[in-house]
Amino acid sequence: MEYLLEVRNITKRFGGLVAVNNVSLGIKAGEVVGLLGDNGAGKSTLIKVISGVYRPDEGEMYFQGNRMDIGSPMDALAAGIETIYQDLALAENLNVPSNIFLGREKTKRVLGFLEVLDHQYMQEESKKVLEKLDIVIPSLRNRIRSLSGGQRQAVAISRSIYWDAKLLIMDEPTAALGVAEQKKVLDTVRRLKSHGIGIIMISHQMHDVFQVADRLVIMRRGEKAAERITKETNADEVVSLIVGAETVT
């Protein structure tokens, strides 16, 4: 099976600093890849290259078998690459449907000429995507600020899936969540995988990554230090690779 996303020899410099150096990796549809490394390892820079925030200085990117030149986040979104950062980019004063359709609101024409928001359509479509992912939110009319951390994460994920994400990049999806909420997010990740969504998951929560990831890519000092099949390694080995205490083979 060919990769959904493949990056080859990606390098990104900021002046004299090489933030990402000659990194290659691939991810298949329906696969979860954990991207691990200490602070400053280059993880965030790499995903910002993939999501169009930064242009690489060297290297190539292929998506669904075709070479891609992603020059902006809008290019990535148009291709089906969605990124959910830790802040989730949700409008806390708006309700669930308004957030799922944020910036892409559905309108309808009334009186033959007046364009107004089609709240009923957005409500029904939001309910459908939440049901598809088996996500329960008591009332879609509740404002985001009234939802729990796990529910907010679910809304951000649902928004990406509704807009036909094929690859989802999740930055610390379980950070600052309680145990029960973490489980809900991980269950959602498993459901996304079953729907054929490719997922890159960045996390410092080793236990969470081992529960859902098929493969692990470890970065250190801007380089890809190692790659492991999750079921063939353990947390001790991964920590050793992250800190450089183990020789890569």
Indicate the DSSP class of residue 143: B
pLDDT at 12: 97
Same domain, 90 and 139: yes
Confidence of residue 204 (pLDDT cuts 50, 70, 90): confident
- Which of residues 165, 186, 211 is at a domain's end? 165
pLDDT at 247: 56
The share of the chain scoring above pLDDT 70, in percent, equals 98
Give me the mean pLDDT over the 89-93 stretch: 91
Range of the domain at 70: 1-80+167-173+197-249
Answer whether residue 246 shows pLDDT above 80: no
In a domain, 184, yes or no: no
pLDDT at 1: 56
Give me the mean pLDDT over the 175-204 stretch: 90
Average pLDDT over the chain reads 92
Q: What is the DSSP string of 74-131?
A: HHHHHHTEEEE-TTTT--TTSBHHHHHTTTS--EEEETTTEEEE-HHHHHHHHHHHHH
Q: What is the pTM of this model?
A: 0.89
Instruction: Please report the beta strands in 159-211, taking only residues with DSSP state E, as ranges in sequence order.
Output: 167-171, 198-202
Same domain, 71 and 28: yes
In a domain, 186, yes or no: no
13: CATH: 3.40.50.300
Domain count, the chain: 2
What would the pLDDT profile of 93-129 be if each residue is shown by its tens digit? 999 999 999 989 999 988 877 899 999 999 999 999 9
Same domain, 96 and 159: yes
